[in-house]
Amino acid sequence: MVKLISLFLGLFLATSTPSAVSNQIGLNSALIIPLYTRANIKAEETANWRDLITEPVLIMLGKCEAPDGKGGIDLTAYNPKDTDGKEKFGAFQFDYETFYGAADRFGLENADIASTTHQVILTKKLISVHEWWRWPTCWMKKIFPR
């Protein structure tokens, strides 16, 4: 129950806090994901994904969704039929409809589902608008189990 409350508090703070609270990331760091504008998206489109995936929860989500078998993230993961029956791609296991719909919604130009940078940008955006539920298996069963 405490973990669930922490998750909701973190998600609330993520949408009400425009920037990171601390540059230091520790084991007990809060989930603070900055709100994004089109200017942020433009700047991040050409960034290296390693510079964007700074929140521990994103690393945990990537390792859960697309484990590489060595404790890391498989950036080219492919699942021909996920639990919802859809084909999924990449580090955060997006299907075409969700990925390109989010790219259009958040103004990510020239979106590419094979781009880890684009997947990180859209994952952060979706979580910042309370759409963490798009990864139900990892959130509820692995990251924050009861």
Q: What is the largest CA-CA distance in the chain?
A: 41
81 against 28, higher pLDDT: 81
Over residues 130-146, the pLDDT tens digits come to: 898 899 888 887 777 77
| pLDDT exceeds 80 at position 7 | no
118 vs 111: CA distance, rounded Å = 7
The range of the structural domain enclosing residue 110 comes to 2-143
Count of C-beta atoms within a 10 Å radius of residue 144: 16
Over residues 13-68, the pLDDT tens digits come to: 444 433 333 334 444 444 444 444 454 555 566 677 777 777 888 888 999 999 99
| Total number of domains constituting the chain | 1
Over residues 106-133, the pLDDT tens digits come to: 999 899 999 999 999 999 999 989 898 8
